[in-house]
Structure 1
């Protein structure tokens, strides 16, 4: 029995040493997260762009007329936007480059996408005077524009201001990906390196990164468990030694060890929630690592536009966004109104497709399922989601989306206006998502407000850090 106890103690020390550096990096980055995401987060004048309705845009030419004047026979999609007091057709070509043509005379606007991105960046920041230091098209995520932002490609518009403001703009949807000042940019890079160990992904790839994280989190979890076992095995001895010391009036020479045990016991539950949810998160991500899947794309023929986009059976005073979609051997105008209802009008016949957004969402969901080699069977339930919730959280960025629920328990969220898969949630993904937001990010305390939740999570991270440091100090003292 004595040997077993000593072995447990030995393994606790080994596991604790393995987990020491990871715990320190995670605790420090966890302490910094509220500053980055809440207290030091920069503010911006506008976070959502409110487009004008079509009756205010007053286009003189139809899309077909503009295409014909510019000898464009095939393209991917279009939009209608107004900036700097002029209305333009956004036309996405077969190369996915967006060009801008005047809705009055069909002339091409040089560098139109950059100009519109700059216009939107100034709108969001309410900054009409600062010089634009640089504007670049970003097609991949990086340390400052991370995968959590979801939207690509985006224009990175950097202003020449004291706070170094960068604004990321998706021009095709007239929306903002995110915005960063100098302080937040530094904190983002530090957090990414300390918390997710992004350098491993850069050097060796995502699978190696996740494997190393798996080992480190496992060491942390088993260090915790072995520590609790050691305390359970030795608590009588600890108590006897402490009583004898007090009776004899001797100085406490193992005060570091005692603090390590006491603080470790106090934070053991929060450490368990952090470690277990992190391990679950890494396991699910490991299971989901796979080559990038293709997105749905389409080619529209200008000859299919028999019906003018200016003669749709919907009042111009309610149309806020127009586009085109092609599915089931037909082409449709996809029209979003000011009540977030999406209408589908056949470009050849002018007939409106009943429940068109549901039909298109189901079509896209089936496409993405087949693309992931999943069978499509059963009649799914389809409903529109207009607000974020616990399953489809703010991290997914896109709204509104259609939720396609299959009989096998999988939910696929489709943004029909971009034909993109926003996210999919299966059984294990759903369980992992809930465990992560409640056990790792403490969303269960949202009722107390974001500030209180952040303070509690910081205290938990600080407790884990202090327990780890006392443990290391105890190890050094034993040497």
Structure 2
């Protein structure tokens, strides 16, 4: 039996050699482009959205403006920081520009969404608005703004200059959705062509079958190679190329097993699995301006509360309410019972958050206050209750099936940076599909949804393909360096294998 296994491993290791070699070189070389872009691509000057505060008097203008402008339906109604200070932003359609209204005069700011995009682009890049070359509303994903960015519609704001800098901004939440330039676009096109074979996207079945065969070949080579390491003794008289190939195999055998298995799993999951992921806007809000909506902070107007934001939402009974996002406790000392959630060493990030803060955990402000839009009274409601209500509205998920609800303050394996929103609530349900739902309470948007299929594939891709198991012991840059060195060693290992195969073929021809 051992002889048969040994002979089989040697035979199949040789049969899969050329296809596996091609797969390894293609995907290892293109895989190196990912950390390369992370290190050398365009950088942002700021990583978190701009902030501003509004007084109670300004906030009380919300129902006045809605009545004055005869607006009785919208997807989202909220206050938004702009270049002019806090303004009222109204989203009437998910794929159309947002409308803005001055809180002092109550007048609309015509076509201001485009100006908001220019201001945000300048804010995130550090370049002056005078250098903006063009501003374009993007309503569909493309090569420069692929689907992994998730947010639509966005504005593409281009700047003058030889580098071709452009930034994508999502004015709904003032989020930066992507940044690119000529260099990054060129490298990304190489990555997509070599790593995902997007040039075959018009023949999707052919793309999946060919890539799957190459991944299977690499997986078979890795498994048979590990078998040979276990069963064969290394000859002391072997050529140096054989010796190098043998010792390098000990270094790369497990990484190659991880990469090939997780890559194949990722391919097949996205090709055959049900895609339940993606953002969902809240259902439209409706009201009757004949019965004017109550003022959001009528009871507290004299206290001059400092508020970071206000949005109009719907509770679990379908009643309209205002969500007041309070500033930090020291700004609202008049509010009794308020407290500030700290996250240890990250407290200082509230003033100048860095990119690392989105992975380490952000500071969370005081708990939001909910005010009835019917009578202006404070409601016994909170963000957790809102998230549960929204999950039921969006997906029909019953609160009886809820197993866990927790606040997410950092990006990680299940809720990654592509969602562009923090904090959010994660709701886990005891359903056959194993639903996990992520809800943004500030806007009432269902940001993402995971089921068992997507989550298990996520574990595989995060741990085996992106090596996030290293995160507890090293930061992102160190992890990327370790992965890059491993990929370089794997390509060297493959080249030694080819040299050995060619030498054997040459000897056979002589015989």
Range into which the TM-score falls when normalised by the shorter chain: 0.7 to 0.9
| Aligned residue number for residue 428 of structure 2 | 405
| Aligned residue number for residue 150 of structure 2 | 150
Is it true that 1:28 corresponds to 2:16 in the alignment?
A: no
**Contact persistence 2:54–2:86 (CA under 8 A):** no
Is it true that 1:307 corresponds to 2:308 in the alignment?
A: no
**Quick one: distance in 2 between partners of 1:350 and 1:420?**
24
Distance 1:296 1:473, change over 3 A: farther
**Quick one: distance in 1 between partners of 2:304 and 2:259?**
52
Is it true that 1:111 corresponds to 2:111 in the alignment?
A: yes
| Aligned residue number for residue 476 of structure 2 | 450
| Aligned residue number for residue 219 of structure 1 | 217
| Aligned residue number for residue 16 of structure 1 | 17
**Contact persistence 2:370–2:378 (CA under 8 A):** yes
Q: Which among 282, 288, 304 is matched to residue 267 of structure 2?
A: 282
Residue 402 of structure 1 deviates from its aligned partner by: 0.8
Is it true that 1:471 corresponds to 2:471 in the alignment?
A: no
1:89 is paired with a residue whose SS is strand
Distance 1:381 1:265, change over 3 A: closer
2:151 is paired with a residue whose SS is coil
Residue 20 of structure 1 deviates from its aligned partner by: 2.7
Residue 204 of structure 1 deviates from its aligned partner by: 3.2
1:448 is paired with a residue whose SS is coil
**Quick one: distance in 1 between partners of 2:475 and 2:428?**
32
**Contact persistence 1:81–1:89 (CA under 8 A):** yes
Distance 1:133 1:187, change over 3 A: same
1:442-468 CA distances to partner (integer Å, 9 max, x unpaired)?
Answer: 233332333332221111111221222
| Aligned residue number for residue 78 of structure 1 | 77
Is it true that 1:385 corresponds to 2:408 in the alignment?
A: yes
1:186 is paired with a residue whose SS is helix
Distance 1:406 1:289, change over 3 A: closer
**Quick one: distance in 1 between partners of 2:17 and 2:366?**
54
**Quick one: distance in 1 between partners of 2:153 and 2:423?**
20
Residue 362 of structure 1 deviates from its aligned partner by: 0.7
TM-score if structure 2 supplies the norm length? Answer: 0.79
Residue 88 of structure 1 deviates from its aligned partner by: 3.3
1:462 is paired with a residue whose SS is helix
**Contact persistence 2:61–2:106 (CA under 8 A):** no
Q: Which among 284, 292, 297 is matched to residue 283 of structure 2?
A: 297
Alignment of 1:415-454 (within 5 A): 415-427=440-452, 429-446=454-471, 447-454=473-480
| Aligned residue number for residue 182 of structure 1 | 182
Residue 186 of structure 1 deviates from its aligned partner by: 2.2
**Quick one: distance in 1 between partners of 2:44 and 2:313?**
34
**Contact persistence 1:154–1:169 (CA under 8 A):** yes
1:321 is paired with a residue whose SS is strand
**Quick one: distance in 2 between partners of 1:89 and 1:218?**
55
| Aligned residue number for residue 124 of structure 2 | 124
**Contact persistence 1:137–1:156 (CA under 8 A):** yes
Residue 104 of structure 1 deviates from its aligned partner by: 2.9
The number of residue pairs the alignment matches comes to 459
Is it true that 1:335 corresponds to 2:324 in the alignment?
A: yes
Which residues of structure 1 form unaligned runs of 5+?
246-251
**Contact persistence 1:300–1:326 (CA under 8 A):** no
Residue 428 of structure 1 deviates from its aligned partner by: 5.1
**Quick one: distance in 2 between partners of 1:458 and 1:407?**
40
Distance 1:316 1:147, change over 3 A: farther
Distance 1:219 1:421, change over 3 A: farther
**Quick one: distance in 2 between partners of 1:459 and 1:171?**
40
Distance 1:442 1:416, change over 3 A: same
Relative to structure 2, which stretch is displaced further, 376-385 or 153-162?
Answer: 376-385
1:58-99 CA distances to partner (integer Å, 9 max, x unpaired)?
Answer: 649823332333333322222334544465322222465311
Relative to structure 2, which stretch is displaced further, 93-102 or 207-216?
Answer: 207-216
1:322 is paired with a residue whose SS is strand
| Aligned residue number for residue 333 of structure 2 | none
**Contact persistence 1:170–1:176 (CA under 8 A):** yes
Residue 157 of structure 1 deviates from its aligned partner by: 0.8
